[in-house]
Structure 1
Amino acid sequence: MGAGCETLSGTWCKDLLNTIMQNTPHSWANHTLQCFPPVLNEFFQQNSVAKENKQQLKKAVEEEFRNWASMNNENDIIAHFSVPGTPPLFLCVVWKMILETDRISPIAYK
């Protein structure tokens, strides 16, 4: 057991976790963290992500949905939602599209 925990505390593990957090920032509930190995628990405690404000998220999704609806050029749509470093709202837009139109635009698959 001790050897397994030591390997998790290696730099390869921390590098991997940092990469994951950079690409998909997320957090875990405290009761879930208690089930993690101590090294992972400590990492996620030290690298917590602020909880999103639901009202701000809703407003941002509404705005992106309006952007989607107002764009006519397929290349512009793809370029807009492919910009690195922008908030990952595309899946929210697709979900809203399903809820409002009961279908997904073929452009979303590209």
Structure 2
Amino acid sequence: MTNQHPTPPPELVQQWMDDLYGEPGQFVSSDDKALAARAARWGYEQHEKELLDAMHAVVPQPYEPDETSAVLKRQALAALHAIAVGANDMREQHQDLDTIRKALEQLDD
């Protein structure tokens, strides 16, 4: 699940902008790229949640992880990936680092 790339390739973003504006070769701004990355990340997180929910349906109750921890773990992994690929601006990077810090604080010493 975590090996997927939450940032769409530039060619796909270009295709989306061409479709949106109705003209091929439209300029793709950094805002367009950031919006596409956020949309892809949201879709990735939704897909990951669906997979986790499906796994929980077949795993016996005693072994089911705490939902809060599972959500925090997914968010931290997505945040780490976004930082690694440079998909965010500085403000979002600080939020991502805070999410990762919170997830690490949940770990047993």
- TM > 0.5: no
Higher helix proportion (structure 1 or 2) = 2
- The TM-score with structure 2 as length reference comes to 0.28
Bigger RCO (CA 8 Å, 6+ sep): 2
What's the TM-score once normalised by structure 1's chain length?
0.28
User: Which of these two proteins has the greater Rg computed from alpha carbons?
Assistant: 1
